[in-house]
Amino acid sequence: MFANLWRRATLLSSMVTIVALYRTIFVFLMFFVGAVHTNRYTYWNYIGATAFYVILWISYIRNDAYLFKTLCVWFVPIVFGSVFFVFLYIILILQLDNGQLFIAATYIDGGALSVGTVHTLDHIIHTFPIIDFLVVLVSGYVKEARHAVKSFHRRLASNAQRAVFLIYFFVAPLSPFALYCCFFNPFKEYPVDVSSAVPLFSGLLIYFAIMLWVHSLMTTKNYGHFKKTQLVANPQILASSVF
């Protein structure tokens, strides 16, 4: 079995394995030390994205193309949108509250956490998810995900169906946050020194900009700039430029 998996291993499947493994271990460690605070959406985002990587890893281990395509078409917008939104929105919140959220974290457990420790943990929980996703994307996932989404998009028979799919891209990523809001008030959990309308509209602007990019990335035909024929190496030109 393991020999067969090794033969089928690719850069993408290897990176997904690493990301899924280290994030799963880290989630268990966070629960073990009591570092998971369910009143903060950050942890919902981190654990949800970890589940996505684990299921993506399963699709590679089982060589299950149907599961893979299901993840690409229906769950990539949710994971992509949530991960990028949390990364950018926390920067906005820290600016609007003059860093009080960051400073308050140093007083957890009776002031046992230093500013350096909080800074490190902040990067792990807010910045690393972006790095994880980008590593997976550039390792080949963006190519396969685009193919799956574009194939699905081409099978949509009418403009109305394409419009519904576009709406899904923008609405679906809000579902985890909407569920979170059923239990917690984000304006109470992430207080700022200005009107709540400022982070609300700023957050919506950031969100829609991200999702417009995600939709374009997954469905556009004009991906990249140069034509493939322009990038095919001409031995004579290369030889003349070198010698």
pLDDT digits (tens, 9 = 90+) for 130-162: 999 999 999 999 999 999 998 998 899 889 999
Percent of the chain with pLDDT over 90: 42
Q: How confident is the model at residue 226 (pLDDT cuts 50, 70, 90)?
A: confident
C-alpha span between 45 and 122 (Å, rounded): 14
Written as six digits, the tokens of 242 are 């070198």
User: Which structural domain range is residue 25 located in?
Assistant: 2-242
CA 123 to each of CA 3, 202, 237: distance values in angstroms, whole numbers, following the listed order: 37, 22, 46
pLDDT at 234 > cutoff 70: no
pLDDT at residue 8, as a whole number: 61
Residue 3 has pLDDT above 50, yes or no: no
User: pTM value?
Assistant: 0.86
How many structural domains comprise the chain? 1
Better-predicted residue by pLDDT, 227 or 151: 151
The string of pLDDT tens digits covering residues 168-207 is: 988 998 899 999 999 999 888 888 887 888 888 888 888 8
* Cα separations in angstroms, 173 against 100, 104, 170, 186, 205: 28, 29, 7, 16, 14
CA-based R_g, the chain, Å: 21
Tell me the three state secondary structure of residue 57: helix
Name, in order, each residue with C-beta under 8 angstroms of 124's C-beta and a sequence gap of 6 or more. Answer: 26
Question: pLDDT-based confidence at 37, cuts 50/70/90?
Answer: confident
**C-alpha distance from residue 14 to each of 8, 10, 136, 214 (Å):** 10, 6, 10, 24
